[in-house]
Amino acid sequence: MKGELLLFSSVIVLLQVVYGCPDKCRCHSSTNFVDCSQQGLAEIPSHLPRQTRTLHLQDNQIHHLPAFAFRSVPWLTALNLSNNSLSDLAPGAFHGLQHLQVLNLTQNSLISLESRLFHSLPQLRELDLSSNNISHLPTSLGETWENLTILAVQQNQLQQLDRALLESMPSVRLLFLKDNLWKCNCHLLGLKLWLEKFIYKGGITDGVICGSPDTWKGKDLLRIPHELYQPCPLAAPDPESSQPQRPGSTHSVVLRPPENHNSGERDLLECELKPKPRPANLRHAIATVIITGVVCGIVCLMMLAAAIYGCTYAAITAQYHGGPLVQTNDPGKVEEKERLDSSPA
């Protein structure tokens, strides 16, 4: 009898673990949806139904995600952790979620992300990191993002975004980048070039608005001409480490430029965008040439007309004044005319 009761109680506990619903959560077994939102939770509930596909934990007070935080729900496909107080995510926080496709971490207090944080999410398609305080995204963050189609990082503290990270997302179609502290210098040229190609292929983005320097503050990164970008200064290798040691020599002589305390500031200024005269547009140049040719032609025609008019006027004037002079210079004709005038009628 005792053995039967023990077996029965074990079965009940097992059923509660598999099909039960944690306190302060609402479980919908027909859709495998568990809603634990707006419950003031400080940690992930235990004993979540194993068959859960969608889990809502938004609007709680969860500060930390430990490693293997969701080991009890390996079939999870959508996870909403928005509007919590998350500031610390353990490197293995999402380990075991091989089927997760949608992850919402918006409106938290995240400052940085561990480079391997999402490596256990090969099926991830939508990632929302907006409205946090993230200042840097590691290049290796998206090593497993071949299936990612939507990435949202707007309203953070980002100043740069490595092109290599974007190139690790070949399937992305929606990219939200606005309302960051984008520093539009030479280091952002790679992002500009990638975005132009992304848009050309049909991708959609809300754009990058420059936060600095003052020259480009408030300007759209995509509207800044390429020719205003200058190459970033390369970091000079250490001469002592690169120069081979000669056998038998105790030390090597290394030529160094004189130290300058303002070298760091100079490199920073060289990296900034330096406005320079923009090259003339070819269409504008052709239009200018055509207009200039037309004006010159009109002026030439006017000069030709004036010359013809002047010559004609001079000829008429000369003919008018030249007739009487020719007549008065012939004495014979004058005498004959006088004789005819004096003869009786």
pLDDT (tens place) for every residue of the chain, 345 residues total: 445 544 444 443 444 444 579 989 999 999 999 999 999 999 999 899 999 999 999 999 999 999 999 999 999 999 999 999 999 999 999 999 999 999 999 999 999 999 999 999 999 999 999 999 999 999 988 777 899 999 999 999 999 999 999 999 999 999 999 999 999 988 888 999 999 999 999 999 998 999 988 888 999 999 988 777 666 776 555 554 444 444 444 343 333 344 444 444 444 444 544 444 454 455 566 778 888 888 888 998 899 888 898 888 888 887 777 555 444 445 555 455 455 455 554
Q: Which residue in 169, 173, 166 sits closest to 203, CA to CA? A: 173
Reported residue count of the chain is 345
Instruction: Please give the backbone phi and psi of residue 64, each rounded to the nearest 5 degrees, phi first.
Output: -140, 140
Question: What pLDDT is attached to residue 313?
Answer: 85
**Phi (first) and psi of residue 10, to 5 degrees:** -65, -40
CA angle, 36 as apex, 30 and 37 as ends, to 5°? Answer: 120
What are the beta bridge partners of residue 103? 79, 127
DSSP state of 179: S
pLDDT number for residue 332: 53
| Cα of 244 vs its chain's centroid, Å | 43
Question: Which phi and psi (to 5°) does residue 89 adopt?
Answer: -115, 115
User: Per the structure block, which two tokens stand in for 210?
Assistant: 């420059």
What pLDDT sits at residue 288?
Answer: 81
The whole-number pLDDT of residue 13 equals: 40
**Inter-residue contact 87 to 112 (CB < 8 Å):** no
Strands 102-104 and 33-35: unpaired
Query: Phi then psi for 149, rounded to 5 degrees?
Result: -115, -25
CA distance 72 to 30: 19
Classify residue 230 by burial, with Cβ atoms within 10 Å: 0-12, 13-18, 19+: middle
**What does the DSSP assignment read for 96-116?**
T-TT--EEE--SS------TT
Instruction: Identify the residue whose tokens are 């010559």.
Output: 311
On the 0-12 / 13-18 / 19+ scale of CB atoms within 10 A, 81 is buried
Q: Could you check whether the bond before residue 213 is cis, i.e. omega within 30 degrees of 0?
A: yes
Compute, in degrees rounded to 10, the torsion defined by CA atoms 130, 132, 135, 141: -60
pLDDT of the residue at 287: 77
Cα–Cα nearest to 140, from 160, 156, 162: 162
- Structure tokens given for 169: 């997302």
